[in-house]
Structure 1
Amino acid sequence: MKALRMAALAAVALASAGAQAQTSAADGIAQYRALLADGNPAELWEAKGEALWKSRRGPKNASLEACDLGKGPGVVKGAFVELPRYFVDTQRVQDLESRLLSCMETQQGFKASEIAATPFGRGEQANIEALVAYISAESRGLKFNLPQAHAAERQMYEVGKRVFFFRGGPYDFACASCHGEAGKRIRLQDLPNLTVNPGDGVGFAAWPAYRVSSGELWGMQRRLNDCYRQQRFPYPGYASDATIALGVYMGVQAKGAASTAPAIKR
């Protein structure tokens, strides 16, 4: 009996030590991010994005200053926290990146299909991520409030919800496998619960973000496509309806969360 009691005490001690180690690791990562936040490298992308927004470019030699992101032509502040949303001119629900594609095509003369097919981080894809950094930064601290008045917006929310919880692929994974409940982590990385506040705030509301591991700024489209890669699913494609629907679902769930984008991620 004495041996059993000793074994039980040892097990409790090990469990406690493990919990403390997890807490210490999470605290360490939080402190690391806090140190980097003072002088976030994303500011370089923000500056580039602002210049791109105002510069005359493309076959039509025009700027993007007349682009309507949902708040009226040229209005940037506050637009990010209300996207994705329905746009009458395209008759589609669009997130920030797909909306920028539309504006670059109609106003500047670029071919949206060619940009969408360009690998992440190259050419106009890299420019879009800079634009996303600038536009999201203009809404930093504002609270997410995605519109759901239009039937198409409500439909995309329901589609996004189904996609989020859909299990498949060789590992039978879903988005919810990692982000459907509290207390999960991969290695030392805490995984936010994207179905409720405040987890959706530190998850969805933090993208686009500067990724320390790659030394690049990632937009939400790159983030979601990489999630599909980790699930061993085929890429859904840049600005696809599946990724936009996921953005609607997560954005609606993030209602009231303050945007921290562009943030810093590992």
Structure 2
Amino acid sequence: MKYTKRILTISLGLALSSAAISANAIDWWQLGNTKVGPQKTLQEVHQYFKEQFPKMTLAQYALGSYAFNKQAYQQYQEAIQFNPGDLTLSQGKALWNKKFPDGKTYSSCFANGGKGVAAGFPYYDNKTHQVVTSAMRINACRVENHLAPLKYGSSPLIALQTYFGSLSNGMPTDVKVAGPGAVAAFEEGKAYYFMRRGQLNFSCASCHIAYAGKYLRAQIISPLLGQNAHYPTYRSAWGAVNTFQKRFMGCDKKVGAAPQKLQSSEYRDLDYFMTYIDNGVKINVPGYRP
């Protein structure tokens, strides 16, 4: 299902009820305009959050909700000293360096052995006309070396994605959107992000733009900006490391919508849009979240 055309017809209805919008809210739903293009969208989103939180630096957005509460940030600092996600990271490193039957390793499939490469993922492939994620590229590497692909969402694949992501730690996200196909995929992801759905009639933007930095029940809502910089991440609610798309599934379920499948075109386009918005935010994998 494609969303770009539909988003144009509902853009004026994207706002929450007046009780759910803060008095000083800037027209956040206008950020969902699919006619302005990727570059302007990025500029407008970054400017929106700069106006909302003028004291926040770009680097702080990688902290998500922890950036909005000193006590929570102190707890985060303590937690990452012994991040349980580091176990998954170690498992991923071992798998990454394990030789294939032909003697090669995963590093043979990536430029510079994979170092710094994740900063540009996901990317749009003009040959296959689709967004390619790290999970897809890792599986393609296996096939190229005569091994069966791993199941999306499986522990070995998550571990490999985690290690691959860590090879870009400290580097700013640098996703490219160039050419008609890439722009179309970006706009589909953007449309999905702003489309209200489910029993609660919420969009991703309803929480992570309109309510960013505010409390929803007892939880501070993280902003769109910076959300992918720490994925794959360890979440105590999961008791495990998991991926950005796993989080998409959880959010769709919470608003009463049927989730898409992992690595579906909808979730890959959404991933593409959200990660492009993170451009400039430094990567820190695996992250840690409550």
TM-score by length of 1: 0.76
**Corresponding residue to 2:73 among 30, 41, 46:** 30
1:262 aligns to 2:286 (yes or no): yes
> Cα gap change, 1:265/1:177 in structure 2, threshold over 3 Å: closer, same or farther?
same
**Corresponding residue to 1:240 among 257, 264, 274:** 264
1:62 to partner: Cα distance: 5.9
Counterpart residue number, 2:99? 56
**Corresponding residue to 1:190 among 220, 223, 246:** 220
8 Å Cα contact 2:174-2:280 kept in structure 1: yes
Q: Which sections of structure 2, spanning at least 5 residues, go unmatched? A: 1-65
> Cα gap change, 1:98/1:233 in structure 2, threshold over 3 Å: closer, same or farther?
farther
**Corresponding residue to 2:233 among 204, 209, 218:** 209
CA distance in 1, matches of 2:258, 2:203: 13
8 Å Cα contact 2:228-2:274 kept in structure 1: yes
1:43 aligns to 2:91 (yes or no): no
Counterpart residue number, 2:123? 85
Amino acid at match of 1:206: H
**Corresponding residue to 2:206 among 166, 174, 177:** 177
Amino acid at match of 1:190: I
TM superposition outliers: structure 1 runs of 4+ over 6 Å: none
State the percentage of identical aligned residues. 25
CA distance in 2, matches of 1:150, 1:38: 42
Counterpart residue number, 1:249? 273
CA distance in 1, matches of 2:104, 2:257: 38
1:178 to partner: Cα distance: 1.1
**Corresponding residue to 1:99 among 125, 130, 137:** 137
Secondary structure of 1:217's aligned partner? strand
Counterpart residue number, 1:10? none
1:170 to partner: Cα distance: 1.4
8 Å Cα contact 1:26-1:188 kept in structure 2: no
1:64 to partner: Cα distance: 2.1
1:166 to partner: Cα distance: 0.5
Residues 32-80 of structure 1 deviation map (CA, whole Å, 9 limit, x = unaligned): 111011132222111111111121358x786323223xxx2x6311111
1:242 to partner: Cα distance: 0.9
Counterpart residue number, 1:168? 197
Paired residue total: 223
Higher relative contact order (CA 8 A, sep 6+): 2
1:155 aligns to 2:184 (yes or no): yes
8 Å Cα contact 1:62-1:108 kept in structure 2: no
Amino acid at match of 1:227: C
8 Å Cα contact 1:63-1:108 kept in structure 2: no
Counterpart residue number, 1:128? 157
Q: Which moved more, 1:80-89 or 1:40-49?
A: 80-89
> Cα gap change, 1:100/1:233 in structure 2, threshold over 3 Å: closer, same or farther?
farther
CA distance in 2, matches of 1:186, 1:61: 52
1:191 to partner: Cα distance: 1.4
CA distance in 1, matches of 2:166, 2:217: 30
Counterpart residue number, 1:110? 148
TM-score by length of 2: 0.70
Amino acid at match of 1:96: S
Q: Which sections of structure 1, spanning at least 5 residues, go unmatched? A: 1-22, 195-199
1:223 aligns to 2:247 (yes or no): yes
1:109 to partner: Cα distance: 2.4
8 Å Cα contact 1:164-1:175 kept in structure 2: yes
8 Å Cα contact 1:64-1:108 kept in structure 2: no
CA distance in 2, matches of 1:91, 1:102: 16
